[in-house]
Chains A and B, each alone.
Chain A
Amino acid sequence: MSAVVQARGWGWRHAGRRGWALRGLDLTIDEGERVLLLGPSGAGKSTLFQGLAGLLRAPEAGDPEGSLHVHGHLVSGPDPRTGIVFQDPASSLVMSRIGDEVAFGLENRAVPPGRIWADVRAALSAVELHQPLSHRVEHLSGGEQQRLAVADVLAVAPRLWLLDEPTSNLDPPGAALVRHTLRQLLADRSTTVIVVEHRVDDLVELVDRVVVLEPGGGVRHDGPPAEVFCRHGASMRASGVWVPGCTALRRVPSSAPGPPVVAAAALGVRYPAAAADALCDVDLEVDAAQVTAVVGANGSGKTTLALCLASLLAPTSGAVRFLAGGPDVPYARWAPRDLVRHVGTVFQEPEHQFVAASVRAELAVGAARTKMAPEETQRRVDELLERLRLSHLAAANPFTLSGGEKRRLSVATALVTRPQLLVLDEPTFGQDARTWDELVDLLAEARDDGRAIVTVTHDEELVHALADRVVRVDAGRLVSDQDAGRLVSDQVVREEPVGDAR
């Protein structure tokens, strides 16, 4: 067996940074191995991944240290024998028709034109995309798009597969199909596979070796999954690494639900030029001191529902009413400054909601809009900085924070005005276990403080740990509404509802 990857004292410092993203790495990966790469945030997983992919170019992108060999050569750029599946298909697919998309990689590799379309067809059928070659990429679901990205890689038959969180952007059914496809394609062990993924439960079966990176340098643990997780599972989880089978504690509410805070009646939304309603005839009351999880497949209308509940999208039929105060105008037409006093919204991408030049100023924005007294603002901001471990970053620009820090800041900005309603879109997306725990604690605290919380999520663990009520949306309709205390989380998110309770 020959080594496909060989790192000797390898390190990388990104241009313009003082610290090393990764250093002192010694790692050998042999042909045919299936490796899961883990590590707490900041351990350099993505840097190593980019290095393996040949996407780090010295000296423009930074400085290397030691050596990194892939396929027996010092890495100097993308290698035709390496294929990569990226996290987000929407920003990795190039062409507009699925046949052209797969052909693109073959053209770049100068495959003779006479062979290209046969290869394209074979790759598409291997990932079970049976649409015509002219089918448009934007008409595929997220899971199908990711399978298309797998077909792109498959078509060029690489010796090394790099999978960068291949299922994290997908809803549970889409993710399951992508995993199924990968399992089948990689079953014959003729290729080497390296996977980076946060939530590893469903991917562990694909791998036979786990490598855990140590923040600050080197490898902390290395071995078969069962051994690594058994021996070091607890310490890994404590450092923020997701460990399979480690179920989060359920945060039981301290009190019964309070009065309704916001209510949708016969709510309907149809986007301009859309063929069908995004939401249709939805009736829903959201109660204080309760966490309501909104679940459903991508495109089912759950984000649309959340936007309406947060007064960020006007219904095209029916109405949403806010029942816990506020100005005497229809909810959808509230002025932003009234809205921020009563409702906090956390977007999936934290950067979308950053408007200030420092973390401290960012937190003060909402307070200033509601005319909070300066001393009160100061106290509230300090309290949240402390609570969310952001004090040392108070002067930093929000855009320069790490993923976990950005997420914590975005939740804090929504909490600063103590709104009665908190609406969150996939708040735990892409977070390591430590930030996840902190977020769940913070949201549980806000709930026990009497706030109504609505969260759109695919995260089964979040539903299990926090949801008091689970509302499922399918094709724009509310298809089930259940008391989460009576459910096992897996059934809630994965399977069809058992019946309409409540």
Chain B
Amino acid sequence: MTLTLDAPLVATPLGRINPVAKLAATAVVAVGLLVTVDLVTASVVLAAELTCLPFAGVGWRFLVRRAWPLPVAAAGVAIANVVASDASSATIGAISLRLVAIALPGVVAFAATDPVDLADSLHQQLRVPARFAYGSLAALRLLPLLSVEWQTIRRARRARGIDAGRSPLGALALFASAVFGLLVAAIRRATRLAAAMESRGFDAGGPRTVARRQVVRGADWALVAASMLVVGGANALAVVLGTWHPLLW
């Protein structure tokens, strides 16, 4: 299997939202949910998310394909808590729901953001230095190449007659030697890429222009405001209903 860095939701309305705005909205949800462990806040936010997703162009098919690990992880957390802790079932439910409600916007935002747009937006809106924003972007582009390289290294070990045998220690040694091979390959590729970028004037210290303007529009502000409203409203509702329970779990 090869790793791909596709962003399947780029063409949706959400895909057109400024990447930093998406990042901000995701952060608002995370912070707003981390301050409390209660069923009301978590379920209101999650319900709001699921209601809004279709309007943002995110279909159920996408959710099934990309977000299926979330309920699985939530169930895992719940089971672990039931077995290992004496927390009430409401608390366990809240912890699990909160996990899904925090992670879902992240999964969706990631799939709806082209990495190039993210780098542009980080550089232009948040003033992240180009060296960091585009350097990371270039590194990201190497990942699929390295996943192919990893496969080749594993095959080469088979060809050399090397297998782990039955001992876990052998498996560990085999894995470590393949990791070393991958590191060598990664450093070589990264060095080449850095030289190529440098030769094209990247990070030369002079002025730099931007070919793609990333702007913050009304819709971007609206997304951040809406996420604040939902999270704030959910917390307020929980306070009113008396379930609000500040706990940094």
- Residues of chain A whose beta carbon lies under 8 Å from any beta carbon of chain B: 50, 53-55, 77-78, 80, 82-84, 86, 88, 90-97, 100, 103-113, 116-117, 120, 138, 152, 156, 271-273, 307, 310-313, 335-337, 339-341, 343-345, 347, 349, 351-355, 365-366, 369-370, 399, 413-414, 417
Residue in B149, B196, B206 whose beta carbon sits within 8 Å of that of A110 in the complex: B206
> How many Å lie between the Cα of A227 and that of B108 in the bound state?
65
> 13 pairs across A/B with beta carbons < 8 Å?
A77-B198, A84-B199, A86-B192, A106-B211, A107-B208, A107-B210, A108-B208, A116-B211, A311-B158, A340-B161, A355-B157, A414-B159, A417-B161
Return chain A residues, CB-CB under 8 Å to B212: 100, 103
- Contact partners of A311 in chain B: CB under 8 A: 158
Q: Is the CB of B206 within 8 A of A96?
A: no
B209 contacts partner chain A, Cβ-Cβ < 8 Å: yes
Do B161 and A312 touch across chains, with their CB atoms under 8 A apart?
no
Taking a contact as CB atoms under 8 Å apart, the answer to whether B199 and A55 are in contact is: yes
A233 to nearest B CB, angstroms? 33
Q: Taking the complex as formed, is B221 at the interface, i.e. its CB lies under 8 A from any CB of chain A?
A: no
**CB contact between B159 and one of A93, A310, A335 (< 8 Å): that residue:** A310
Measured between C-beta atoms, what is the minimum distance from B205 to chain A in Å?
A: 9
Are B181 and A351 in touch, CB under 8 angstroms?
yes
Q: Which of B155, B198, B209, B213 contacts A111 (CB 8 A)?
A: B209
Measured between beta carbons, the chain A residues less than 8 angstroms from B211 are 100, 103, 106-107, 113, 116-117, 120
**Which chain B residues border A96 with CB–CB below 8 Å?**
5, 114-116, 141
Instruction: Rank and list the top 10 A-B pairs by shortest CB-CB distance, nearest first.
Output: A340-B161, A369-B161, A108-B201, A92-B196, A345-B159, A103-B211, A353-B156, A105-B200, A336-B163, A91-B192
Residues of B within 8 A of A365 (CB): 160-162
Q: Decide if B59 is an interface residue (CB 8 Å cutoff).
A: no
On whether A78 and B185 interact (CB within 8 A), knowing A110-B209, A355-B157, A355-B177, the answer reads no
Interface residue B152 (Cβ < 8 Å from any Cβ of A): yes
Task: Mark each residue of chain B from 151 to 182: 1 if its CB lies under 8 Å from any CB of chain A, else 0.
Answer: 01101111111110000000000000100010
B35–chain A nearest beta-carbon distance, Å: 38
CA A84 to CA B114, docked complex, whole Å: 28
Q: Is A313 touching B155 in the complex (CB atoms < 8 A)?
A: yes
Contact in complex: A78, B209 (CB < 8 Å): no
How does the 8 Å CB contact mask read for B182-210 relative to A, with 1 for contact and 0 for none?
00110001001101111111101011111
Q: Are B208 and A110 in contact (CB under 8 A)?
A: yes
> How far does the alpha carbon of A486 sit from the alpha carbon of B153 in the complex, in Å?
38
Interchain CB contact (< 8 A) of B207 among A88, A110, A138: A110
Is A104 in contact with B160, judged by CB distance below 8 angstroms? no
Decide: A78 and B201 in contact? CB cutoff 8 A.
yes
Q: Contacts A110-B209, A112-B209, A336-B163: A94 and B156 contacting too (C-beta < 8 A)?
A: no
Q: Which residues of B contact A (CB under 8 A)?
A: 1-2, 5, 114-116, 134, 137-138, 141-142, 144-145, 149, 152-153, 155-163, 177, 181, 184-185, 189, 192-193, 195-202, 204, 206-213
**Which residues in B have their C-beta under 8 angstroms from that of A55?**
195, 198-199
Query: For residue A136, which residue of chain B has the nearest CB?
Result: B6
Further pairs besides A84-B199, A355-B181: 13, Cβ < 8 Å: A50-B195, A94-B137, A100-B211, A108-B204, A110-B209, A116-B211, A312-B155, A337-B161, A339-B158, A352-B153, A352-B181, A365-B160, A413-B160
Q: What's the least CB distance linking A315 to chain B, in Å?
A: 15
B159 touches A339 (CB 8 A): yes
B172 CB, nearest partner CB in chain A, Å: 14
Known: A55-B198, A336-B162, A337-B161. A92 touches B209 (CB 8 A): no
| Distance between A311 CB and nearest chain B CB, rounded to angstroms | 8
Chain B residues lying within 8 Å of A103, measured Cβ to Cβ, are: 211-212
Q: Within 8 Å CB of B209, what residues of A?
A: 106-107, 110-113, 116
B-chain residues with CB within 8 Å of residue A94 when the two chains form the complex: 134, 137-138, 141, 193, 196-197, 200, 202
Query: Which residues of A are found within 8 Å of B204, using beta-carbon distances?
Result: 77-78, 108
CA distance A78 to B196 in the complex (A): 10
Q: Are A53 and B199 closer than 8 Å at their CB atoms?
A: yes
- Evaluate contact between A351 and B185: CB separation under 8 angstroms: yes
Which of B177, B192, B210 is within 8 Å of A92, CB to CB?
Answer: B192
Shortest CB–CB separation between residue B65 and chain A, in angstroms? Answer: 12
Residues of B within 8 A of A77 (CB): 198, 204
Residues of A within 8 A of B185 (CB): 349, 351-352
In the complex, how many angstroms separate the beta carbon of A415 from the nearest chain B beta carbon? Answer: 13
CA distance in complex: A138, B2 (Å): 13
Given contacts A110-B209, A112-B209, A347-B152, contact A95 B116 (CB under 8 A): yes
List the B side residues contacting A105 at CB < 8 Å: 200-201
A91 to B195, CA, bound (A): 10
Residues of B within 8 A of A109 (CB): 201
The residue from B142, B161, B192 contacting A88, defined by CB atoms under 8 A apart: B192
A53 vs B199: C-alpha distance when bound (angstroms): 7
Task: State A399–B156 Cα separation when bound (angstroms).
Answer: 15
| C-alpha gap A71/B33 in the complex (Å) | 60
CA distance A413 to B201 in the complex (A): 42
Contact of A336 among B115, B152, B158, B189 (CB under 8 A): B158
In the complex, which of the residues A100, A112, A273 contacts B116, with contact meaning CB atoms closer than 8 Å? A100
Bound together, the chains give a CA A86 to CA B196 distance in angstroms of: 7
| Complex CA distance for A354 and B204, rounded to whole angstroms | 37
Evaluate contact between A108 and B160: CB separation under 8 angstroms: no
Known: A78-B204, A105-B200, A107-B208. A349 touches B152 (CB 8 A): yes
- Closest Cβ neighbor of A413 among chain B residues: B160
- A353 touching B196, Cβ below 8 Å: no
B159 touches A340 (CB 8 A): yes
What's the Cα separation between A345 and B185 when bound, in Å?
A: 19
Contact yes or no, A307 B201, CB < 8 A = no
Please report the C-alpha to C-alpha distance between residue A96 and residue B6 in the assembled complex, in whole angstroms: 10
Point out the residues of chain A lying under 8 angstroms from B145, CB to CB.
90-91
Tell me the nearest residue of chain B to A341, going by C-beta.
B161
Taking the closest CB of chain A, its distance from the CB of B134, in whole angstroms, is: 7
CB neighbours (8 Å) of B116 from chain A are: 95-97, 100
In the assembled complex, which residues on chain A have CB atoms less than 8 Å from the CB atom of B155? 307, 312-313, 347
